[in-house]
Amino acid sequence: MTGMTSEITLSDHRPAGGEIERLSGKEPVTLLNCDLEGLNLADLDLTGWCFERCNLRSCSFNRAMLEGASFKACRAAESSFVGAAMLEAVIDGGDFSNTNFRGARLTDAKILRCKMTGADLTDAQAIGLVLEEVLLVLAVLPKLSFREMTLKHVDFSEADMRACDFRDAVFEECSLRDAHLADCRFENADLRGADLGGVKLTDARRFKGAIISRRQAADLLGQLGLRVL
């Protein structure tokens, strides 16, 4: 029928960069089990594309249009999304370790059940971002806003989180163990579901205005030899 578009699916394929470029900006494309390792896909219009169980290692998606795109169980370690438009994009599962998201627009995006060890989200726009079951150990997240977010099963251990905004955020089975939290804001944040291991009593002022559990308070006061009964 006139005006209808058909979805294109590529499966178990090693497309050349030129092939992806020819398809960009046209019909929605689904790639299943495709090998795109090392391809340069910068500046392409990949709006609504679906990458499922693909090898995206060391790919460049710099400045690409990825609004509404989905990445399901992909291997994307050391890939780059610098300046990419990822509004309402979904990353579900897979390995995005050491991936560069500097300056990416992640508004209303979802990152779920994913490994992002060492990922760099410096200057990313993350309003409405959803994080669930994400490993962000050693990630670089300075000045990111988590305000009013509910963080579920997120591991920020040893992450660089300087000047992040956690006001009114809720932590559910998360870890801030040994994270760098200088100049963060925690007013009205609920930290009862966060592992605060490595936090010293002298650093507790960083959590001014936050809600902590009796056990967490006891751990901090225990550094002075005091017991909370």
Question: Which are the contacts of 135, defined by CB distance < 8 A and separation ≥ 6?
Answer: 114, 115, 116, 117, 155
DSSP, res 28: -
Q: How far apart are CA 188 and CA 165, in angstroms?
A: 11
* pLDDT at residue 227 in the model: 63
Overall average pLDDT of the 174-193 stretch: 93
Mean pLDDT of the chain, nearest integer: 90
Q: pLDDT category, 160, cuts 50, 70, 90?
A: very high
Note whether 27 and 6 are within 8 A (CB): yes
Q: How far apart are CA 225 and CA 218, in angstroms?
A: 10
Q: What's the Cα-to-Cα distance from 45 to each of 70, 160, 176, rounded to whole Å?
A: 14, 32, 37
Identify the residue whose tokens are 């605060």. 196
pLDDT digits (tens, 9 = 90+) for 40-92: 999 999 999 999 999 999 999 999 999 999 999 999 999 999 999 999 999 99
Decide if pLDDT at 105 tops 60. yes
- The kind and range of the H/E element at 170 are strand 170-172
